[in-house]
Amino acid sequence: MTAEINGYVSPYPVDPMPEWVAALRDGAEPVWIFAYGSLMWNPEIPFAERRPALLRGYHRSFCLYSRDYRGTPERPGLVLGLDRGGSCRGIAYRLPPDGLGPAIDRVWAREMAGEVYRMRPVTVSTPQARLAAYAFVVRRDRPDYAGRLGAEEVVRIIAVAKGGRGTGRDYLASTVRHLEELGIEDGPLHRLHEQVEALLPQS
């Protein structure tokens, strides 16, 4: 079953949009979206402005099982989510005031497939000012939440995982490379990358 919203096709059913999110489509206030993963370098949404941003209280983490893109149902891989605790450097996107509704529909369809995230209001710090924004954070009550895993198990899973869109190792390496290109430091992710590479046979 697929879902399509404003031209964006999701391979999964998309969570119904609650009334408070739908109300943003017709509001007069700016809508900022905090991006921490692939949304930073492949937003697939129109935006009027973007700024480097720091979100406190959440961190970027390989805390979600992937049973298709980077793994299989029999051997799930891991992908990034935004989990509670710590802090996270990313990008804040201001959605365009003209076409705000379609932009919200599109980001909702992209991020809310699979019932693993919750959109919630947050405050982010940018070089210009603190902003009221929205972030898609992991739902710890979902079966795909894997945040309870130990560090060694995370390394082991990523090192061998492979799914329809490639390996977990490549996903991690691509994430680290894109963060470096954006000038965003993430020490834990860099250390994880080094640990995964060290575990693999050297050619």
User: Which residues are marked as active site?
Assistant: 111
CA distances to 20, 27, 99, 129 from 95, in Å: 17, 12, 8, 17
What three-state secondary structure class fits 168? Answer: helix
Residue 46, CA atoms < 13 Å, CB-side half-sphere? 13
Among 82, 79, 90, 92, smallest CA distance to 140 is for 82
Q: Which helix (H) or strand (E) covers residue 108, if one does?
A: helix 100-111
Using the structure block, give the residue that is written with the tokens 């250390």: 191
